[in-house]
Amino acid sequence: MRTIVTNFGNKLGVQLPKSLLQRAKIAENDNVEIFVKNNNIIIRQQENKKHLTTKERINAFCETTDEIQSPEIDWGKPKGKEIW
């Protein structure tokens, strides 16, 4: 397949035929990654990463949530105009 690089406002781009995108299993609004390798432009579909909750992120980082719990720290008596 051949195409022409065209001007889209302040950017250059190419139009990709639907049949080519279907063969690559890329659909409208899919997230893709574009990079250069050996002077070739590579376009590939990004993995659909599930948005993790804070608890899921902590669990992925630590073996158990007990690892992230720490004892309270006594910083001493208030000085100045702190409100406790």
pLDDT value for 6: 95
Q: What is the pLDDT of residues 28-63, one digit of tens each?
A: 888 888 999 999 999 998 876 677 788 888 777 776
pLDDT given at position 63: 64
pLDDT at 46: 81
Judging by beta carbons within 10 Å of its beta carbon (0-12, 13-18, 19+), is residue 59 exposed, middle or buried?
middle
pTM value is 0.49
Domain boundaries of the chain, sorted by first residue: 9-68
Q: What is the token pair recorded at 55? A: 């608890």
Picking from 46, 62, 42, the residue whose alpha carbon sits closest to that of residue 54 is 62
CATH of domain 9-68: 2.10.260.10
